[in-house]
Chains A and B, each alone.
Chain A
Amino acid sequence: MSPSTPQPPEVLLLRPLLPSFDAALSGKFRFVKTWESPLPLHDYLAQRAASIRVLLCSSLQPVPPDVIDRLPALKLIVGSSVGLDHIDLAACRRLGIAVTNAGSVFTDDTADYAVGLLIDVLRHISASDRYVRQGFWPLMGDYPFSSKLSGKRVGIVGLGSIGSAIAKRLEAFGCPILYHSRTMKQSVSYKYFANVCDLASESDILIISCALTDETFHIIDKKVMLALGKHGVIINVGRGPLIDEKELVKCLMQGEIGGAGLDVFENEPVVPEELFKMDNVVLSGHSAVLTPESFHDLLELITANLEAFFSNKPLASPVAL
């Protein structure tokens, strides 16, 4: 490379990328990989701080606030997820740091998974699959009755891109859609509830697809679960801490709610073991978006955001802070 050829721009990484992402992006950007240095993180950052303008955040691990503080030239954090509760957005706002997220690349897969979990919980797909594989069908006869989905009232908590995609799918099953959001959406005809408890009391199913913030922490608490009732089903594809997990487990054990489909938990990858014996619960390890298609789209989006930033063009998926 001749001395006059510009170096690829630097991008800070706190943790390794997926190998395929690293391979695709390394040609265009120079990754500064903090874990490859023998220096403690803070010393390493002190050395490189002046030139670091972009941080690529590849996981859901929290970005420590003191990392942001030690990078005076930081102007952009590129996230790899839709939810940004692991990034100190208030600090970014204060310091004029832009943040991009995964935009709508995960919308379809998350919505599909929410509906898949819901049908599974109501119709006992995983539970009766276990029943068949254990050889019980010839021995013990038919599986007990389950619950119909079509026509049931679906209450969506958080009618953003993902919540809307879930609503669109379930409308085709004849499900009336109700919702709670920070503000009422003028362009939708679904019934709006300013209060989540009221939403729960008029719903047969609650689907949680809102962002995790200080306000929405434990938004699904014991009161909401009791309002949903003994036949109610909760599906969570948002963030674990949106639900009071200890109360959820208690309500399930005591039959205060009918069932749950959970892709996220308060302390991942720890899942309350009381749930392992339940047939009215379906569990997955934060895998709603794990498809090659969405990862391909994510890579394209991350690349677009980085290229836009370094060529002074508008970002592809900026988040309002």
Chain B
Amino acid sequence: MEFLGVLLIVPINPYLEEELDRRFKLFRLWESPPGRRREFLQANAPSIQAVVGSTAAGADAEIIDLLPRLEIVANFGVGIDKVDLPRCRERGIRVVYTPDVVTDDTADLAIGLAIAAMRRICDADRYVRAGSWKGEGDYKLTSKFSGKTVGILGLGRIGLAVAKRAEGFGCPICYCSRSEKPNTNYKYYPSALELAANCQVLVVSCPLTEETQHIINQEVIEALGPKGVLVNIGRGPLVDEPQLVSALLNGRLGAAGLDVFEREPHVPKELFKLENVVLVPHIGTDTLETTKAMSDLILGNLEAHKLNKPLLTPLF
């Protein structure tokens, strides 16, 4: 093919955008006014063979249906809940994403959030910056992390990487997954509820699907309990957010470290005054190193598609 026409749904990052512009024919969806998106897509459809989206916005039904020449969808991220996969399958559209390169950063953040939440690192930093260490004395006692049982919901690449790191802190590991994994010594529980009842730190790292929507519900949150810690590095809708907020406010859940929310970039304001919660703006893979690796993987996949070579990281 002479050129590959690529639609970029949202900016994502400057390096990716520049490279897409340099190597392909780039269409920037956000350059059309929101009300004129359909017209923009229809006008450029004959030239667009590829769509690049992210966890913020992906190739949904509307976009796919308006692009009859669409051959490949590239997802910047390993979570592909924003891509209409059934539609892609029906149309024979290839889907590529960015597994493996995101594993380390996401697992690192999960541990960082767990320690920050249990040891109140952010609040202790606030305390010092407010002059309270000088004025009011030492910060209070906080909960030890080492040796606490860590339960992992979703023992995929990221879940396994979280487990490996937590083991370095002497944490016993248990997990719940769609199916039991044959090659681990970790204790398996068949449900999120049983997992929550048997661990102190619950790390949510499974994909968002119709089945896993609100898998962390009120019952699971209460099973985790007043000394429990919830860490969500998966997707916001995996957790029933209003229930989570209520449980944190009245002590039914001990603490939480949250990288994702149901309606990003909106975070429930009731959480802003709590010291037992850590709130970060979906930074799971936002390091210079990993965003470059993810970008290069997307670019490599698109190049391969253009040259009719095997795709690097196809989902299908």
Alpha-carbon separation in the docked complex, A120 to B109 (Å): 9
Q: Is B200 an interface residue (CB 8 A)?
A: no
**Which of chain B's residues has its CB closest to A174's CB?**
B104
CA of A119 to CA of B170, assembled, Å: 18
Q: Which residues of A lie under 8 Å from residue B104 when comparing CB positions?
A: 148-151, 173-174
Q: Mark B273-290, 1 if CB is under 8 A from A, else 0.
A: 000001111110011111
19 extra A-B contacts, CB within 8 A, seeds A150-B105, A150-B107: A108-B169, A111-B146, A112-B115, A116-B115, A116-B119, A119-B109, A119-B115, A120-B122, A123-B109, A124-B283, A145-B13, A146-B287, A148-B105, A148-B288, A172-B164, A282-B125, A285-B124, A287-B142, A292-B144
Given the complex of chains A and B, what is the CA–CA distance between A292 and B143 in angstroms? 7
* Residues of A bordering B, CB below 8 Å: 108-109, 111-113, 115-117, 119-120, 122-126, 128-133, 137-138, 141-143, 145-151, 168-174, 268-271, 276, 282-287, 290-295
User: What are the residues of chain B within 8 A of A148 when measuring CB–CB?
Assistant: 104-105, 108, 287-290
Would A133 and B283 be within 8 Å (CB), given that A109-B146, A148-B290, A282-B125 are in contact? no
- On chain B, the residues within 8 Å of A120 by CB distance are 112, 116, 121-122, 125
Whether B144 lies near A109 (C-beta < 8 A) is yes
Q: Is the CB of B142 within 8 A of A129?
A: no
Is the C-beta of B265 less than 8 angstroms from some C-beta in chain A? yes
**List of B residues within 8 angstroms of A109 by Cβ:** 144, 146
Whole-angstrom distance between the alpha carbons of A16 and B308 in the complex? 77
The reply to whether A291 and B121 contact each other, CB–CB distance below 8 Å, is no
Instruction: Please tell me if the beta carbons of B119 and A133 are within 8 angstroms of each other in the complex.
Output: no
Chain A residues whose C-beta falls within 8 Å of the C-beta of B141 in the assembled complex = 290-292, 295
Q: How many residues of B contact A (CB 8 A)?
A: 55
Complex Cα gap A146–B124 (Å): 21
List chain A residues, Cβ under 8 A from B124.
Answer: 283-285, 287
Q: What residues of chain B lie closer than 8 Å to A147, measured between beta carbons?
A: 287-289
A149 to B110, CA, bound (A): 12
Q: Which residues of B contact A285 (CB under 8 A)?
A: 124, 127-128, 133, 138-139
Give Cα A287–Cα B128 distance, bound, in whole angstroms: 11
The answer to whether A145 and B125 touch across the interface, beta carbons within 8 angstroms, is no
For the complex, give the distance between the alpha carbons of A145 and B147 in Å.
32
Q: Do A108 and B147 touch (CB < 8 A)?
A: yes
Q: Which residues of B, 272-316, contact A by the 8 Å Cβ criterion? A: 272, 278-283, 286-291
Asked if B113 is an interface residue, CB under 8 A from chain A, the answer is yes
Give A269 to B129 CA distance when docked, in angstroms.
Answer: 12
Q: Cβ of B264: which chain A residues have Cβ within 8 Å of it?
A: 137
In Å, the complex CA distance between A115 and B109 comes to 11
Q: List 26 A-B contacts (CB under 8 A).
A: A111-B146, A112-B145, A123-B108, A125-B116, A125-B121, A128-B280, A129-B280, A142-B283, A142-B286, A145-B286, A145-B291, A146-B283, A148-B289, A173-B104, A173-B165, A269-B134, A271-B133, A283-B128, A284-B128, A285-B124, A286-B138, A290-B140, A290-B142, A291-B142, A291-B144, A293-B144
Q: Pick the contact of B168 from A137, A171, A284, A292 — CB < 8 Å? A: A171
Are B283 and A143 in contact, with the CB atoms below 8 A? yes
- The distance in angstroms between the C-alpha atoms of A116 and B117, with both chains bound, is 10
In the A-B complex, list the 10 residue pairs whose CB atoms are closest, starting with the nearest: A119-B112, A172-B168, A116-B115, A285-B133, A150-B104, A108-B146, A137-B265, A148-B287, A293-B144, A291-B144
The reply to whether A117 and B146 contact each other, CB–CB distance below 8 Å, is: no
The interface residues of chain B lying within 8 Å CB-to-CB of A138 are 265-266
Name which residue of chain A comes closest to B264, CB basis.
Answer: A137
Taking the complex as formed, is B167 at the interface, i.e. its CB lies under 8 A from any CB of chain A? yes
Q: How far does the alpha carbon of A287 sit from the alpha carbon of B206 in the complex, in Å?
A: 34
Q: How far is the CA of A171 from the CA of B167 in the complex (A)?
A: 11
